[in-house]
Chains A and B, each alone.
Chain A
Amino acid sequence: MITRKDPTAVARDKPPRGFWGEAWGRFRRMPLAMAALLFVCFLAVVALFAPAIAGTKPVVCRYKGSIYVPCLAYFNRDWEPVVFATDKFRGEYPQNLRDKDPESWAIWPLVFQDPYRAVRADEWPGLPANPTHENGRPNSRNLFGTNQEGIDVFAKMVHGTLVALLVGFVSMGIAATIGITLGAIAGYFGGVVDMAISRVTEVVMCIPTLILILALLAIVEKPTIWKMMAVLGFTGWTGISRLMRAEFLRLRSAEFVTAARALGAGPGRIIFRHVLPNALAPVVVPITFGIAAAILTESGLSFLGFGQPPPSASWGSLLNNARSNLQMWWLVFFPGTAIFLTVLAFNLIGEGLQKATDPRLREARK
């Protein structure tokens, strides 16, 4: 976006904002990138409050004189209060709460549907059982329809948001750590170290990614979502490493590095305190694109049936359900749109960051 600077803004004496402040100022003026950032924030909110949006466990409830938060069990099964297990609730709260403690009260999620099982008839007073197979068209009770087993697609998608975001951020976090460290070491030390690391990078780059990922997933046998993130992280660092190496090669002979060395700084201090902050800008963009790619790969693997075994809330596993019955278009449309929008958002943010941080593009726009 080309915006003319407000002349009064220049006149006012502002303290210099630094590189990232400047970049943020430019990023903020790109409507598409900002919309994408807002969308990702929205996804994060949905992911965090998923158990309060859709679930069959109360958000907060009072039972036999104490207050409980049973909905946290959706994040970690061990967080389910023990009293409900000893009182044999078996995951069905509404009826049990009323029967076993008439004094109890509960605040329920917005939508009474479970992402891991089909809701039975009258589990919630007046709510019929979820339809299965082709009868599970989107309707007022199941906004996005149900899958073959009658599990609500909306609930699955709300809970799958956390999976998608976690996969993106955690696997790219692993990849960025490996890539930045290896690239920095190769670029800073050069010589034999550089040769060895560059060769390894090249080999990992040349193995077709899918072969590498599938082989690694087969080795870990039961692939949980965390193992999947590790595998994606350990295979996705090559591009970052190469960029980082190039930046370090450029910067290691810069004057400020010589100055730091003259002051007696060791290699660790020079790499992390002096060079790294200056070399970070170019890798931020591939990291953002990498998040999109990781979300894409995870849903692709779940779609092919190589993901976490059921019950899993991954968006890709819904698409996998659709494969066995293409009549159920809602199993493609809703998760497909969600994956598409998320990937698009991260790509737009990446593009915005590129425009905001690349000095070459900035010069060109003058």
Chain B
Amino acid sequence: MIHYLLRRLALGLVTLLLITFLVYALIRAIPGTPLTAAVAQTDPSRRLNPADLERMNAAYGLDKPWYQAYFLWLSNVARGDLGRSISRKAPVTQLIGERIGPTLALSGSSLLLAWALAIPLGLYTAARSGKPDERAVNLVLYMLYSVPTFVAALALQITFSIWSEGKLWELPLFGMTSGEAHETTIAWLADVGWHSILPLACMTYGGLAWDARFINTNLQEVLRQDYIRTARAKGAGSFRVLGHHAFRNTLIPVVTLLGLSLPALLGGSVIIEQIFTWPGMGRLFFESLRERDYPTIMGLTLVFSLLTLAGQLLADILYALVDPRVSLE
């Protein structure tokens, strides 16, 4: 087990190196530097004169060729220093630290919610296979899966914020809090919860539909096995057959999907955060890309890739845990 983990970690490190190297090369190839991009947005009279620009380029290490700058960045990261944001004048670790909470809260609760709803739905559709209600549920799930998140987000915003103005169920259009000071933590939590209903719904429905259909297909395959017939023949009730005998055997592909859905979830959060101005990492990524803020982009890429690789590793470990035939040795 430890041997396997070490090997996987070493491989992951190589992948991380390759990813960061590639992304660094890419972002340095984008026209404009942090200094010129930030100035272009303000008025032209504040543009730096060439001498100042040169001095600042040297100060931020932008005068070096990109591969040298990459190794400089890498050696700093190895010492635990992600650098300072050029446009925000703050340490990147601090910026990401501020933003990682909202992102993980949103994607984490979306993941939990999706699975909490998908498992009973998948079981239900498998149990009612071929009946009209099963077909209706499956069709709805299928259609949900094809609705683009940004269309759903706009539709929900229009229905629950614009058209419901002044009504009881009016939901906030964007933001994470209403911006007022809260007296207690509970009041703050309630405000955040109220604001997170729409983004959470948008992030969840697609995964929910996909997961429920996935569980359904796997269950149907398992339900054709001989041991299910045996269980039925010995007189086990349909609930017990489904929950005890069948569902446990579908866990293997389900667990794999769980690990692999992490990157998709993070990718999806980028668009959702942008629409609902949720102060998370996805929004920070958009902003820093526009500002050509190399240290922040690299820091975020590192975090995103780390989470992706961690998801894959988690999937493999869980795989061995739920399937006694799989050994990690």
Contact = CB atoms under 8 A, between A and B. Distances in A.
A303 B153 CA distance: 12
A219 B155 contact: no
A215 B30 contact: yes
B181 to A, nearest CB: 28
Nearest to B263: A208
Contacts of B300: 211
B142 A210 contact: no
A75 interface: no
Interface in B269-321: 270-271, 274-275, 285-286, 289, 300-301, 304-305, 308-309
A303 B149 CA distance: 11
A220 to B, nearest CB: 9
A347 interface: yes
A343 interface: yes
A292 B142 CA distance: 14
B157 A326 contact: yes
A322 B267 CA distance: 23
A340 B146 contact: yes
A300 B270 CA distance: 11
A326 B289 contact: no
A127 interface: no
Given A215-B27, A326-B154, A336-B151, A343 B146 contact: yes
Interface in B19-70: 19, 22-23, 26-27, 29-31
Given A208-B304, A214-B289, A343-B146, A336 B31 contact: no
Nearest to B12: A206
Contacts of B167: none
A329 B139 CA distance: 26
B122 to A, nearest CB: 17
Contact of A323 (B154, B267, B305): B154
B211 to A, nearest CB: 16
B161 interface: yes
A344 B143 contact: yes
A339 B328 CA distance: 44
Contacts of B154: 319, 322-323, 326, 332, 336
A348 B161 CA distance: 33
B158 A215 contact: no
Interface residues of A, number: 38
A255 interface: no
Interface in B124-168: 142-143, 145-151, 154-155, 157-158, 161-162
Contacts of A319: 150-151, 154
Given A218-B30, A219-B29, A340-B146, A327 B162 contact: yes
A364 B220 CA distance: 10
A176 B263 CA distance: 22
A300 B150 contact: yes
A326 B22 CA distance: 39
Given A206-B309, A347-B146, A339 B26 contact: no
B266 interface: yes
A176 to B, nearest CB: 21
A299 B15 CA distance: 31
Nearest to A297: B148
Contact of B158 (A207, A208, A299, A332): A332
A206 B308 contact: yes
Contact of B18 (A203, A327, A340, A347): A203
Interface in A289-304: 292, 296, 299-300, 303-304
21 contacts: A199-B18, A203-B18, A203-B19, A208-B267, A210-B271, A211-B301, A214-B286, A219-B29, A299-B150, A304-B271, A322-B154, A323-B154, A326-B157, A326-B161, A332-B158, A339-B151, A340-B148, A340-B151, A343-B146, A347-B146, A348-B142
Interface of B: 15, 18-19, 22-23, 26-27, 29-31, 142-143, 145-151, 154-155, 157-158, 161-162, 173, 221, 224, 263, 266-267, 270-271, 274-275, 285-286, 289, 300-301, 304-305, 308-309
Interface of A: 199, 202-203, 206-212, 214-216, 218-219, 221, 292, 296, 299-300, 303-304, 319, 322-323, 326-327, 329, 332-333, 336, 339-340, 343-344, 347-348, 364
Given A199-B18, A206-B19, 10 more contacts: A211-B304, A215-B26, A218-B27, A319-B150, A326-B173, A332-B155, A333-B155, A339-B148, A340-B143, A364-B224
